[in-house]
């Protein structure tokens, strides 16, 4: 067994202003060449643990530190961050915050210059690391010209150029679209498997972690709960649920099936294993698609939002929308999906007049948006942008929620009444006087929604609300969207996280290259796997398992969730055998 590169011994840590320990008696070893996945809910201490390894915690943040952490034999409290940086390369969540130079080449050279690496050595390392992350040929590009996935790969290249022993990645794909996520995971797998790089990666991407990690460490509320192989950890669904973590859908499917009485002996955690287990199960007992599946409700009447032949060309000449037409009806819950650059955000920005059509027309309640004012539209349509923090500027939650009303000259008593109403609807009444940025990210999104709700709009648009959120945070926001939907509002959501949406959305618009490729009920849209792949989306594992069942017996299994697939498996099983 390889020797340990990282030894964390009884490490506890408390931030200066925090009353509680963020890490509590964590003891962990990471062996050379190992890919260790770090999972845990928001607030578990994952980022703190990552920052401990390059000395930023506690050297930069101060606070109280107990125990010992060593990397390549260096105690992280006794050696400067600059010395530790030569052993630990770090890549964080948002690539935008890590890039500061004016060319790809300069970006990689920056850290090397700070470490006084000789010029010849720098010139030798730059092409090497660019090749390792598949960015060769882009040396002179400005980092802002790169896609999200390319930016994150550049951040990895900059870390690799220091020739670290350990690469620490803190949720490196959570801000990326599916294409970027695939690119980053492919590069990390290559670095680990072909170059033997030791990896510590915190991530909520359960399916990928199950696929790539050698070992998983589960952290919760600062405590290291357990470590084990992905098969050991992801098969413990109850444990994961206890800590608000999402297992791979294939694992959930077989877990629910076993609970419902299907003859399942072990829970597979990877798709291929799940498909093999389905084949075994099918031999053991008959499986049939359910006779009835829930139908989405019909929505009629005049559509409050209508788009006809919408074409939009950005000032730089990029044609982002090509003749898009659609109607959104009162009370619908519409999901818009597609790769980055498909035109999703461009489309919804026309709904709120943040953009005006180059050609075509957008109408709200039958009125051309070009004749409406922004403030008038804001009363009818609320827009929650991708990063809620960008919409927050008040010093207190109450001020934030009442801001628009006060600026639209509503009487003070009406401002107060609506503010209270919105805060109560979003469960924020107890934090009315808190600074919005002091709240967790999920709550910050609620503050933005409350501010929009105060305007009592009929249509609410969520633009990628789940990006950067953990499972609990994403569900939290989507539950808010459902709550609004149940209040009779029309909801439009853009997201890449398809696995989250079956219990919320009714209708799906699949966009690609500025057009609507498909407009269908969710049950139909999610099973158009080839069409989804054409816009770089992958159906959730539950859908893929359902399609595997269909390929086996030629029948249609229009299933969407692990529970539905599990119900199907359990429904056909009469305890005739056991599948693994």
Interface with another protein (CB under 8 A): 9-12, 14-21, 24-25, 55, 58-68, 77-83, 395, 434-438
For the four alpha carbons of 386, 387, 390 and 392, in that order, the dihedral sign comes to: positive
**Rounded-to-integer distance, Cα 518 and Cα 17, Å:** 51
Closest approach, Cβ 397 to another protein, in A, equals 11
Closest approach, Cβ 144 to another protein, in A, equals 18
Residue 252 tokens read as 């959930």
Among candidate residues 568, 562, 569, the one with its CA nearest the CA of residue 543: 562
Determine phi and psi for 579, rounding to 5 degrees: -115, 155
Give the nearer residue to another protein in terms of CB position, either 56 or 509.
Answer: 56
Closest approach, Cβ 60 to another protein, in A, equals 7
Closest approach, Cβ 300 to another protein, in A, equals 47
**Rounded-to-integer distance, Cα 39 and Cα 245, Å:** 8
**Rounded-to-integer distance, Cα 158 and Cα 171, Å:** 17
Give the nearer residue to another protein in terms of CB position, either 444 or 489.
Answer: 444
CB atoms within 10 A of CB 390: 9
**How many Cα atoms are found within 13 Å in the side-chain-facing hemisphere of 536?**
17
Closest approach, Cβ 455 to another protein, in A, equals 24
Give the nearer residue to another protein in terms of CB position, either 25 or 214.
Answer: 25
- Do the beta carbons of residue 393 and residue 402 sit within 8 Å? no
3-state secondary structure of 169: strand
Query: Would you put residue 404 in left (φ > 0), alpha (ψ -120 to 50) or beta?
Result: alpha
Give the nearer residue to another protein in terms of CB position, either 82 or 375.
Answer: 82
Give the nearer residue to another protein in terms of CB position, either 84 or 546.
Answer: 84
| The residue count for the chain | 580
Rg (CA), the chain: 25
Closest approach, Cβ 449 to another protein, in A, equals 20
Closest approach, Cβ 218 to another protein, in A, equals 18
Strand partners, 516: 511
Closest approach, Cβ 375 to another protein, in A, equals 24
- Do the beta carbons of residue 428 and residue 460 sit within 8 Å? no
- Cβ-proximal residues to 475 (8 Å cutoff; 6+ apart), any chain: 500
Give the nearer residue to another protein in terms of CB position, either 112 or 277.
Answer: 112
Give the 3-state DSSP-derived string for 56-67, with helices as H, strands as E and coil as C. HHHHCCCCEEEE
- Do the beta carbons of residue 569 and residue 287 sit within 8 Å? yes
For the four alpha carbons of 410, 412, 414 and 416, in that order, the dihedral sign comes to: positive
Give the nearer residue to another protein in terms of CB position, either 275 or 400.
Answer: 400
Give the nearer residue to another protein in terms of CB position, either 58 or 468.
Answer: 58
Closest approach, Cβ 380 to another protein, in A, equals 31
Closest approach, Cβ 453 to another protein, in A, equals 23
Give the nearer residue to another protein in terms of CB position, either 16 or 297.
Answer: 16
Give the nearer residue to another protein in terms of CB position, either 42 or 538.
Answer: 42
CA distances from 511 to 316, 358, 431 (A): 22, 19, 39
Strand partners, 14: 64
């Amino acid at each position: 067994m390889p020797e340990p590169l990282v030894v964390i011994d009884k490490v506890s840590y408390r931030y200066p202003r925090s009353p509680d320990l963020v890490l509590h008696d964590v003891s962990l070893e990471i062996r050379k060449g190992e890919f260790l996945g770090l999972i845990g809910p928001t607030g578990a201490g994952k980022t703190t643990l990552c920052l401990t390894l390059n000395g930023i915690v506690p050297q930069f943040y101060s606070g109280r530190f107990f125990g010992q952490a060593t990397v390549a034999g260096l105690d992280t409290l006794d050696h400067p961050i600059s010395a530790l940086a030569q052993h630990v390369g770090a890549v964080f969540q948002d690539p935008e915050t890590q890039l500061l130079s004016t060319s790809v080449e300069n970006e990689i050279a920056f850290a090397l210059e700070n470490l006084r690496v000789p010029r010849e050595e720098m010139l030798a390392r730059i092409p090497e690391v660019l090749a390792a992350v598949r960015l060769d040929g882009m040396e002179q590009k400005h980092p802002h010209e790169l896609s999200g996935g390319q930016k994150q790969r550049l951040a990895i290249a900059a870390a690799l150029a220091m020739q670290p022993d350990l690469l620490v990645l803190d949720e490196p794909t959570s801000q990326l679209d599916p294409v970027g996520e695939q690119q980053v995971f492919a590069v990390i797998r290559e670095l680990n498997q072909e170059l033997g790089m030791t990896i510590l990666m915190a991530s909520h991407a359960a399916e990928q972690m199950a696929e790539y990690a050698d070992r998983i460490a589960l952290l919760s509320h600062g405590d290291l709960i357990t470590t084990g192989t992905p098969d050991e950890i992801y098969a413990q669904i109850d444990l994961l649920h206890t800590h608000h973590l999402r297992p791979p859908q294939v694992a959930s499917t077989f877990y629910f099936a076993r609970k419902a009485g299907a003859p399942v002996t072990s829970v597979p955690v990877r798709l291929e294993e799940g498909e093999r287990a389905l084949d075994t199960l099918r031999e053991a007992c008959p499986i049939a698609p359910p006779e009835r599946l829930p139908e989405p409700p019909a929505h009629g009447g005049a559509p409050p939002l209508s788009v006809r032949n919408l074409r939009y060309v950005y000032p730089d000449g990029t044609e982002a929308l090509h003749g898009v037409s659609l109607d959104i009806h009162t009370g619908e819950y519409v999901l818009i999906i597609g790769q980055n650059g498909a035109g999703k955000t461009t489309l919804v920005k026309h709904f709120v007049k943040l953009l005006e059509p180059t050609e075509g027309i957008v109408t709200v309640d039958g009125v051309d948006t070009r004749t409406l004012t922004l403030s008038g539209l804001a009363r009818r349509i609320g827009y929650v942008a991708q990063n809620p923090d960008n919409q927050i500027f008040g010093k207190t939650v109450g001020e934030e929620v009442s801001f628009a009303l006060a600026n639209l000259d509503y009487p003070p008593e009406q401002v107060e009444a609506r503010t209270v109403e919105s805060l109560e609807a979003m469960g924020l009444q107890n934090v009315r006087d808190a600074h919005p940025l002091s709240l967790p990210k999920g709550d910050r999104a609620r503050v933005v929604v409350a501010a929009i709700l105060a305007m009592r709009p009929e249509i609410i648009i969520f633009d990628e609300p789940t990006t950067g959120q953990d499972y609990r945070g994403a569900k939290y926001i989507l539950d808010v969207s459902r709550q609004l939907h149940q209040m009779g509002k029309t909801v439009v959501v853009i997201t890449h996280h398809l696995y989250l949406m079956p219990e919320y959305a009714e209708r799906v618009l699949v966009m690609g290259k500025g057009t609507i490729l498909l407009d269908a009920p969710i049950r139909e849209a999610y099973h158009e796997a080839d069409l989804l792949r054409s816009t770089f989306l992958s159906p959730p594992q539950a859908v893929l398992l359902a399609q595997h069942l269909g390929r086996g017996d030629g029948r249609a299994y229009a299933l969407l969730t692990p529970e539905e697939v599990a119900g199907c498996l359990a429904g056909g099983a009469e305890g005739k055998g056991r599948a693994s």
